[in-house]
Every structure is written in structure tokens, then in C-alpha cells.
Structure 1
Amino acid sequence: MSMRRFTDFDFGITGLMDTFHIDWVMEGDALHALNEYLWSELNPKEVVLLRRDASTLLSSLTCQEIETLWLKSIAGSFPFGGVIGSGRDWMRMIIDQCDAWLSGKPEPQLSTGDLYDGLEERDAVLLLIDEMSEAGALPAIEQGEYPPVSTVLTECARRCTPDLAFRFLIRMVLRSGVRLTAEQYGPLLRQAEAFSYGEFLMANLRECAVDLDSSES
């Protein structure tokens, strides 16, 4: 797979998650943050892929599974159960806002690379989920609160797409604070290359790895 995506940065639902940083609640509510992300000059491809991810999650996962992926992939807190409602309600809100943004605009042309779900990469992604879980590189879940993160990621890879599950995995490894060895980082990088991700999507993860320079020399 050598087809290039339209951006070197994160995209879709995982791209939106950067908006929900540790202090996002100081700037307004969740709908305000979403609409700030969906600013008027945003690349329409970003909006289409965000809607695509939200639709996939809504049609494939339970409320608890969606909430687990969201809460363990963002830096800040999030008010599920309040005005936002459930994880599925939040996905519906994202879809509605994307539809409003796209209304009346020309439909962007997405390439095969932009739409690559990596179905043939499913086994490799499932293996990486297991390896990161065994390495303690996934965020912990308070007992009884939500399903185990590794279980939800596995279901995402199986019932959504391997691409979407792997993007969640990258974010969770970053959030865990675990320092990856070169042997752990290498397979993640190779998988990112198989998905044709841009350099900036993986840049932060590389900073979490130790002794890369010495192992590459």
C-alpha cells in the first residue's frame, strides 16, 4: 500500500480529539469546541472523514465502547451523561454538525488512499493491540467503570476498521506515558507506513520511544 493520504497529520475522529486538550472546558462546552474545530476554512476532506468515522462508530459499537475510546484518547475530561448524553448521542451530534458544515458545498473528491480502511491489516493491528496491552502501554480503566481498553480496541478493529482502531491505539499509547523500546516502536511505525499515515501523525509517538538513534545507527 503506497497510496498517499491528503494530510500528513491525524484526521477523522482522532484528529478532532486534539481539540479536547486538558483545558478545553475553559473555552466553552463540547458543542462549542466541535464548532471551533469545524471552522469555515477547514479542508472539506477533514469534515467528510470525521463524519465517516463518527458514522462507523455509531453503527458498529455500543455506547460504553464509544465512550471508552473517546475518554481514553483525549487529554481532558468529558461530560458524558449530561447535556451531551451518551457516546452514541455524541457521535450523532458530530454527524449533524458535519452535515450542516457540508451543506451547500461541493463534495470533495477523496482518493483511494484517503478511504483506505486496511481490512487486510486486521490481524496485524490485533497483534499490536495485544502487544501494547501486555507492555502496559494502554490507559487503565477504573474497575467496573468501562470495558477494558484492549477489549474495546479489539472490537473496534473487528467491527469498525483496522485503520480506525490503529489511530485510537496510537493516541492511547501516547496518553499512557509509557516509554517504548525500539523493538516496540518499530512494528507501530511499520504499521503506520502500511496505512500511509503522514510523518506528523507518528511524530509524537517517536518522542515516546527510547534509544531509537542508537538502535538505528
Structure 2
Amino acid sequence: MEFDFGLTALGEQFHMDWRYSGNTPQDVVRGWAEVSGGDEGSPEDVRLLHEDIQLLLASSLSDEELHALWRVAATYYPDFPADGVEPPRGRAWLQDVDREIRPFLREPVDAAPASRGTSASAQSAVCALAERLTPQRELPLEPLPARAVIAAVQRCATEVGAALAFRFLLRAYAAYDSPVAADSWQAFEELNRHFGYGKFLLLTIDYLKEG
């Protein structure tokens, strides 16, 4: 994949003006799925999102860990009641997303897919880069300790898959404006190649490079 995809890419729909795309978070997901899963869209995008969700739902990650991962991908996902309704978190939110996109899957698959990129060396490299995350700001709307995000990324790498954790890690660096030292950038590039991701995925943190 040349660009981001799956759950981390869905997070981009929750920008500052996301309410113009729907009254509720579920509306935003459904609208995205209608476009992506339609005749003029990219059904593969829906399948890849479904795959990410199934991997996370089948994991042992807690609701708080899942919420931490989602929040660094979706910067302006609400953390307050809208019309008296609390936004779903953790597994409840992933199940909502899955329910909204299922009608647009060309070949629905209920079984959790096998994780990819789970070699011990890849896991260790993702975890090491997570430790180097140095927050320069807080997330908008919700103070979420960077330490909780680091721990969630590391758990994702070891319990779910290093390839998925890597995409969340990129989002985490961007969410916290964490600088990327030269040696860290080299490690990001090596992992990006290892997972078979395109060069454009690293644009997420390109502006954070030091030196």
C-alpha cells in the first residue's frame, strides 16, 4: 500500500470539521463506507478496514488500550456527550464501525485474519521507537497520557501485529508532534520497507524529522 489504510486511515475522517460529514461518528463511518464500497470507490479499502478491526477485536487488548490507539489516529473524535449520548469507546466503537461497513464488504469474512509482520525483530523495533516518542503537546479535546499510548502501541506490536502497531505509532508521533531523530528516521524507513508499505506512508511524520 502506497498510502495509509485501514483503521488508521479512517481516523483521518475525524478532523476538526468532521460534523459536516455526519451528525454522529457512526454517520461519518457509514458515509465513508458508502463512497469506498460503491461502484466508483475502492472496495479494497473497506476490506482492509474490516481486517484491522477483526484483528483488534480478537486480541487481548483492553478497552482503554484500544481507545488510546484509536484516539491518536482520530484526533478530533469526541470525548464528550453529543445530544446526551456518550461516544462509544474501545471494543464498542470497533463493533460499531464493523457494523456500519459490513453492508459494503464484497466478500464478508467473519474469522479474524492472520496477523502480519509479527517477527520478533519487527516487534522489538516498533517497541523501541515507541519508547522514543517525546510529546510536545497534548491531544485536542482529551488529555491522553503519552505513556498510555506508548504502552498500547507496544502491546499491539506484541499481541496483535507489528505491522498494524507501526501505523498507529506513526499517528502517535504526529498526534503529539514528537520529533524524529535521524537514527529513528532510519529505523522508521527500514520498518516501512519490511512491512511492504509505500514511501508515502512516512509522510505522516516527515515534517517531524530533525536535522
Superposition TM-score, scaled by structure 1 size? 0.78
Aligned pairs for 1:119-134 within 5 A:
119-120=118-119, 121-132=122-133
User: More deviation in 11-20 or 76-85?
Assistant: 76-85
User: More deviation in 147-156 or 47-56?
Assistant: 147-156
Matched letter for residue 98 of structure 2: I
Secondary structure of the residue that 1:45 maps to in structure 2? helix
CA drift at 1:101: 0.7
- Assess, with a 3 A threshold, how the Cα gap between structure 1 residues 162 and 85 changes in structure 2: closer, same or farther: same
CA drift at 1:126: 1.6
Query: Is 1:94 equivalent to 2:97 in the alignment?
Result: yes
- Assess, with a 3 A threshold, how the Cα gap between structure 1 residues 45 and 78 changes in structure 2: closer, same or farther: same
Q: Select 1:32's aligned residue among 16, 23, 27.
A: 27
Separation in structure 2 between the aligned mates of residue 203 and residue 142 of structure 1, nearest angstrom: 25
Q: Which runs of 5+ in 1 are unaligned?
A: 1-6, 108-114, 212-217
CA drift at 1:161: 0.8
Separation in structure 2 between the aligned mates of residue 96 and residue 69 of structure 1, nearest angstrom: 20
Q: Is the 8 A contact 1:17 1:74 kept in 2?
A: yes
**Match of 1:110?**
none
CA drift at 1:210: 2.8
Secondary structure of the residue that 1:119 maps to in structure 2? coil
Aligned pairs for 1:45-60 within 5 A:
45-60=44-59
- Assess, with a 3 A threshold, how the Cα gap between structure 1 residues 206 and 163 changes in structure 2: closer, same or farther: same
Q: Is the 8 A contact 1:116 1:195 kept in 2?
A: no
Q: Is the 8 A contact 1:72 1:139 kept in 2?
A: no
**Match of 1:3?**
none
Q: How many residues align?
A: 194
**Match of 1:171?**
171
Query: Is 1:85 equivalent to 2:88 in the alignment?
Result: yes
The percentage of aligned residue pairs carrying the same residue is 25
- Assess, with a 3 A threshold, how the Cα gap between structure 1 residues 158 and 83 changes in structure 2: closer, same or farther: same
Runs of 4+ in 1 over 6 A off after TM superposition: none
Deviations 1:135-188 (A, max 9, x none): 447967848x89711111111111111111110000110111133232221111
Separation in structure 2 between the aligned mates of residue 166 and residue 138 of structure 1, nearest angstrom: 21
Aligned pairs for 1:1-217 within 5 A:
7-28=1-22, 29-38=24-33, 39=35, 40=38, 41-60=40-59, 61-79=61-79, 82=85, 84-102=87-105, 105=106, 117-120=116-119, 121-132=122-133, 135-136=134-135, 142=143, 148-211=148-211
- Assess, with a 3 A threshold, how the Cα gap between structure 1 residues 72 and 85 changes in structure 2: closer, same or farther: same
Superposition TM-score, scaled by structure 2 size? 0.80
